[in-house]
Amino acid sequence: MRARGRASLSGELRPVRGALNAALGARRAGYRRLLVPAANAPEAALVDGIEVSAIPSLTRLADLLHGRWTPEPAEPAVPDPGETASEQPDLADVRGQADAKRALEIAAAGGHNLLMVGPPGAGKTMIARRLPGILPPPSFEEALEITQVHSAAGIGNGRLATARPFRAPHHTISAQGLVGGGARPMPGEITLAHRGVLFLDELPEFARAAVDALRQPLEEGRVEITRGQQALDFPANAIVVAACNRCPCARPPDRCACTALELARYQRRLSGPLVDRIDLVCQVETVPAVELVGRSGEDRESSAEVRTRIAEARKRQLARLAGTGVLCNGDMDGRLTRREVPLDKDLAARLLAVRSRLPLSGRGHDRVLRVARTIADLEGRDALAVSDLDEALSYRLDSWERVAA
Amino acid sequence: MIDACDPCLRRALLIAHLAPRIAGLLGGGERRAPGLLALPEDDLIAAAAGRRLERALAFLDALDMAAERERLATGASSAVCAHADAYPPLLRDLADPPAVLFLAGRADVLYLLRDEPSVTVVGTRRASPYGTEVAYALGRGLGAAGVPVVSGLALGIDGTAHRGCLDGGGVPVAVVASGPDVVYPRRHRSLHERVCHEGGVLSELPPGTEPFRWSFPARNRIMAGLARMTLVVEAADPSGSLITAEFAKDLGRCVSAVPGRVTSTVARGTNNLLKDGATPISGTEDVLDELFGVGVRSVADPGAPPSGPDDRALRTVLAAAGARDSVEAIADAAGMTVAQTRAALGRLELDGHLVRRDLGGWEPVAR
């Protein structure tokens, strides 16, 4: 038996941070019963295989220990009805932006990181906010992981999370704020976005050190924080959506006043471990007023319709990737990509042509293959088609070496 | 090989020796050295050496020509003086032709400059993406047509024209304001190397000489003198590129310019040249027509196939991509879905019909 709680002066037991983690830890350590303050009980009871008892006060605790009182096993928290997927902002609210919507769908289907390029005010944030809503709802294990993070950060409401998180830290954030840390280690934004979406608006404005600190979480899906003798592991598997302007002056191409040198500098700020992990780059355009009022006959799909396609594509990936420990195409490393995306003779020849004509690195090559695989999954195809590869090629992000100084 | 007579070599070494003095003499305001480089040796010393007259004369007296020749041969692959057979004859039109040309690179460059008409392409260091694209396309087109492209190895338009020429398989010629072996700007180290490998770097200053402010307009006269045409791609007003254009005009050579946006500061110089009667250039073909006569030599495109794509849908997308910026607008114009349009764009880029702009957006390959 194990107990965790905080007593107030009146003898009542107050809730603590991390009750869910305490329950998971206690179960792992072989305990069969956990005593927690009443307010933490539903959260702790989400864990199977350990009996959770709700203790309202120190008096009751004494009663229990003396055998004068036997509490009922606590009931697990019911899912939070306030934030189900249906209440997420809907994709049908977005007018125009067909290119961004297509890229968003691919990103959601394959778990790919995405960079949106477009002028300020075009709606990059609005589009990014709609990504959690088109992802399939979290499985029970994923919901538990999300709740666990909330619990550790002290931002949960004691119920099982049902929606994928969306985090949008400001660009003034520090490396510690982004990946976690501190004297009493706290999870960072990438962990708070676990199983959901981390949105980095104005990517070039972020401190270099902060963005570079994302290297480990992006590569391993977790963050390791070492404090003295203690090492802590936080989960950190989120889809990263970044946004930036086309150039420093952010004017339309025909009125842009940037010199090639200024452009090169801007783009150099967009390099490093994060950009190396971005599979897709798409455009977000200022929508003409006519379209804002509504174009007749425009058929705008709802998030639910898109989500159905994405769920299908995810199912195909899960089946194909079973046993690899990877859930979606976006998480495949180079070795796995080459194994799971076999190329027939035509496609191999085509890729060879790509490598000789376009400045495509080895990593860029893998990224194109991963995206092409996801496009094929969305279309319900087992084998890659040439058009999948062509489309994937148009979303790639690594043709900047050509920019003349 | 050093194919230069002692008097000419002496003069080149004297100018290098006096270079810091000339810089002081001209001060900050006046950047050109009118007439100075045309003076005979004694007058040059008198004008430039000032209170260091004794030291300059002592320098000349102490010159050991045999040893100098040996030293020069290690820094430059060859040198020709005004009396040598390989000296570019067009340079003799200058009032102050360089006494010696030092070359780092391929020796046959000098014969090529003697026997083939060449074009000097210059422009601002602060080039716009438009200027960069045009300079590259012109460099590439001229290179592929076998016309040597002369430029100054500076950042911006100059460097881009060299790169284009290299990519077109042509012979790039750089005229620099330092010794031919000195890399300036430093960022162009690898470009300097490639130009040396495929063409040549020329200078009137001996190997090892660092650049001075006055030596930039001085080398501009050599660029203007070497070529039949001086083509300005983008230039502010006033600017070094306009100095080059002025030298070319004074020599009676053809001066041409690429039209720019009237609101752009880097197009003011070129647009003013056009108002003054410079030949407008909108592509490689215009340059070739001017050099060889209309239709005598035509553009050979080394990379992309000359005809458009064979597929009808691809042709529609290609046409739409030329006039529009967003994928959605291209899709609308072509009557296709965004996914189909994206696939077509990827295909067109791969086949060399489109180039992708830096952060999304496509445009047809300039020819």
CATH number at residue B349: 1.10.10
pLDDT at A326: 87
Task: For residue B360, tell me if it sits in a domain.
Answer: yes
**Beta-carbon neighbour count of residue A156 at 10 Å?**
22
Q: B3 to chain A, minimum CA–CA distance in Å?
A: 36
Q: Average of pLDDT values for B218-246?
A: 95
Tens-place pLDDT, residues A315-362? 999 999 988 888 899 989 888 998 888 888 888 888 887 777 776 777
**B211 cis-preceded (ω within 30 degrees of 0):** no
Of B242, B263, B292, the one marking the end of a domain is B292
B325 and B215 in a single domain? The answer is no
Q: Is the full-model pTM beyond 0.80?
A: no
B207 and B340 in a single domain? The answer is no
Per the DSSP assignment, residues forming a β-bridge with B362 are B356
Higher pLDDT, B70 or B280: B280
Query: pLDDT category, A401, cuts 50, 70, 90?
Result: very low
For domain A98-291, give its CATH number from 3.30.1490.70, 3.60.15.10, 3.40.50.1980, 3.40.50.300.
3.40.50.300
B326 and B265 in a single domain? The answer is no
Tens-place pLDDT, residues B16-46? 998 888 877 765 444 555 677 888 888 888 8
B98 and B140 in a single domain? The answer is yes
B161 and B222 in a single domain? The answer is yes
Nearest-by-Cβ selection for B128 from A97, A260, A357: A260
pLDDT at B309: 65
Instruction: Kindly write down the DSSP assignment for every residue of B79-121, as one continuous string.
Output: EEETTSTTS-GGGGGSSS--SEEEEEE-THHHHHHHHS--EEE
How is residue A51 written in tokens? 């009996």
pLDDT at A159: 78
B266 and B324 in a single domain? The answer is no
pLDDT at B305: 40
Q: Is the pLDDT of residue B150 over 90?
A: yes
Contacts of A96 in chain B (CB under 8 A): 328
Residue for token digits 């045999």? Answer: B66
Tens-place pLDDT, residues B282-333? 999 999 999 998 888 877 654 444 345 667 788 888 888 877 778 888 888 8
Task: For residue B30, tell me if it sits in a domain.
Answer: no
B225/B277 Cα distance (integer angstroms): 20
Contact A283 B156 (CB under 8 A): no
Tens-place pLDDT, residues A162-198? 889 999 999 999 999 999 988 888 899 999 999 999 9
A64 touches chain B (CB under 8 A): no
3 state SS of A107: helix
Task: For residue B3, tell me if it sits in a domain.
Answer: no
Query: pLDDT category, B366, cuts 50, 70, 90?
Result: low
- For chain B, the straight-line distance linking the first and the last C-alpha, in angstroms and rounded, comes to 39
Contact A257 B342 (CB under 8 A): no
Q: Average of pLDDT values for B59-86?
A: 88
DSSP B152: -
pLDDT at A1: 78
A293/A310 Cα distance (integer angstroms): 29
The mean pLDDT of chain B is 87
How far CA A84 is from CA of A142, A146, B9, in Å, comes to: 15, 14, 86
B126 and B259 in a single domain? The answer is yes
pLDDT at A292: 58
Contact A392 B346 (CB under 8 A): yes
pLDDT at A400: 45
pLDDT at B194: 92
Q: Average of pLDDT values for A147-166?
A: 84
Query: pLDDT category, A399, cuts 50, 70, 90?
Result: very low
Task: For residue B9, tell me if it sits in a domain.
Answer: no
B206 and B320 in a single domain? The answer is no
pLDDT at A70: 86
Cα maximum dimension of chain B? 81
Contacts of A246 in chain B (CB under 8 A): 358-361
CATH number for B204: 3.40.50.450
Contacts of A387 in chain B (CB under 8 A): 340, 343
State the span(s) of chain A assigned CATH 3.40.50.300. Answer: 98-291
Range of B206's domain? 75-292
Higher pLDDT, A229 or B58: B58
Q: Convert B157-166 to b/e letters by CB count within 10 Å (16 or more is b).
A: bbbbbbbbbb
Q: Average of pLDDT values for A305-309?
A: 92
Counting the structural domains of chain B, the total is: 2
Task: For residue B255, tell me if it sits in a domain.
Answer: yes
B220 and B92 in a single domain? The answer is yes
pLDDT at A402: 38
Q: Percent of chain A, pLDDT > 90? A: 31
Q: Percent of chain B, pLDDT > 90? A: 54
Task: For residue B32, tell me if it sits in a domain.
Answer: no
**Residue B95 CB partners (closer than 8 Å, separation 6+):** B35, B38
Q: Average of pLDDT values for B46-73?
A: 86
Q: Please, are residues B168 and B310 in contact by the beta-carbon 8 Å criterion?
A: no
Task: For residue B54, tell me if it sits in a domain.
Answer: no
Task: For residue B20, tell me if it sits in a domain.
Answer: no
Q: Average of pLDDT values for B57-66?
A: 89
| Of A74, A88, A222, A238, residue with least CA distance to A158 | A74
B194 touches chain A (CB under 8 A): no
Q: Average of pLDDT values for B57-68?
A: 89
pLDDT at A94: 87
Q: Average of pLDDT values for A96-115?
A: 94
B208 and B329 in a single domain? The answer is no
Nearest-by-Cβ selection for A253 from B188, B347, B361: B361
Angle at Cα A157 formed by Cα A152 and Cα A159, nearest 5°? Answer: 95
Q: Is the pLDDT of residue A84 over 60?
A: no
* Strand bridging mode A166-167 / A180-181: unpaired
Q: Average of pLDDT values for B244-266?
A: 94
* Strand bridging mode A180-181 / A186-187: antiparallel
pLDDT at A405: 30
Nearest-by-Cβ selection for A394 from B126, B129, B345: B345
Of B292, B322, B341, the one marking the end of a domain is B292
| Tally of helices (H runs) and strands (E runs) in chain B | 15, 12
B123 and B269 in a single domain? The answer is yes
- For chain A, the straight-line distance linking the first and the last C-alpha, in angstroms and rounded, comes to 68
